[in-house]
Amino acid sequence: MSFLAELIKIKGELDEIQNVEDINQQTTTYNENIIKLETLYSDFENILKNKVLLNKKNIKITYDTEMLTKLKNNLEKVSENFQKEQTPESLTQGRFLGQYLSISQEFISESKLENKNSWKNFCKKKYNKEALYELEQRIIKTPKNNENLEKFKQKYIIFSELMTKNDLSEEDFSSLEKCSQSLNEIRSNFEENYHEDVKIFLNELNKNNFVTIDLLTDEVKKFINENNFENTFVIKRNNQ
């Protein structure tokens, strides 16, 4: 029987006879430690589950082995003391339980961060180009690019949510694969190889919602004709 299972068993036995004050106190003590240990075990299981999933994708995770050794040694001491005398006092004898709980919290925090960063880096390898805000600033706002940008936004929202996940599942890897594939495909559809005159014209237009007529060069006129934008842009008198 595991150490935690023994504690739960004793706590259950005490629950049945806790009409006496000192027994009630013992029950409370056992219960408090059981809750702490169960919470830690749940965190450990979650860390291990994520590690297994990441390893299956050849993502190597490295944990602090020195800290793990300290955890193991302290828990063994707590269990050893408890086996000798199954009382609330034996649980805290030598401060091994306190050290175990303290080191566990530190280990869990560091390991969760390690898993999270490894997953985030894996996501970035699947789509390794600009973030959405960078693309919005860089891309020339033609009708076709605007259409692609809207598609890109929808997929990038999903991608961002996946990147920030803490509790992973097989489904997350599948979703990431589909989402990153869509992002890369949409990103490749953006038009970027415009003449410098066209870039200046469009950037000014997007910035100010108008351009001066001196920017209407031959290359800009060619761009307008090739994209059937004759009815999209108009020339107006400046009333100022």
Residue 184, judged by CB atoms within 10 A of its CB (0-12, 13-18, 19+), counts as middle
Give how many domains the chain has, as a whole number.
3
Assess whether 179 and 214 both reside in one domain.
no
Assess whether 8 and 95 both reside in one domain.
yes
Q: Which of 118, 146, 180 is the last residue of a domain?
A: 118
- Residue 173: what pLDDT? 96
Assess whether 77 and 10 both reside in one domain.
yes
Assess whether 198 and 148 both reside in one domain.
no
Task: Please report, for residues 19, 109, 117, the alpha-carbon distance to residue 124 in angstroms, rounded to integers and kept in the order given.
Answer: 59, 23, 10
Assess whether 177 and 215 both reside in one domain.
no
- Distance, CA of 121 to CA of 62 (rounded, Å): 14
Assess whether 93 and 12 both reside in one domain.
yes
Assess whether 184 and 198 both reside in one domain.
no
In 3D space, the residue among 203, 191, 200, 197 whose CA is nearest the CA of residue 227 turns out to be 191
Assess whether 69 and 170 both reside in one domain.
no
- Residue 19: what pLDDT? 47
Assess whether 182 and 220 both reside in one domain.
no
Task: Please report, for residues 144, 186, 193, 195, 223, the alpha-carbon distance to residue 219 in angstroms, rounded to integers and kept in the order given.
Answer: 19, 27, 13, 7, 6
Per-residue model confidence as pLDDT tens for the chain (240 residues):
565 565 555 445 434 434 444 444 555 666 787 788 888 888 888 988 999 999 999 998 888 888 888 888 888 888 888 888 877 777 778 888 888 889 889 999 999 999 999 999 999 999 999 999 888 877 877 788 889 999 999 999 999 999 999 899 999 999 999 999 999 999 999 987 888 988 888 778 777 888 888 888 999 888 888 877 777 777 777 765
- Residue 153: what pLDDT? 97
Assess whether 106 and 135 both reside in one domain.
no
Tell me the residue range of the domain where 54 lies: 3-118
- Residue 159: what pLDDT? 97
Assess whether 70 and 154 both reside in one domain.
no
Q: pTM of this prediction?
A: 0.72
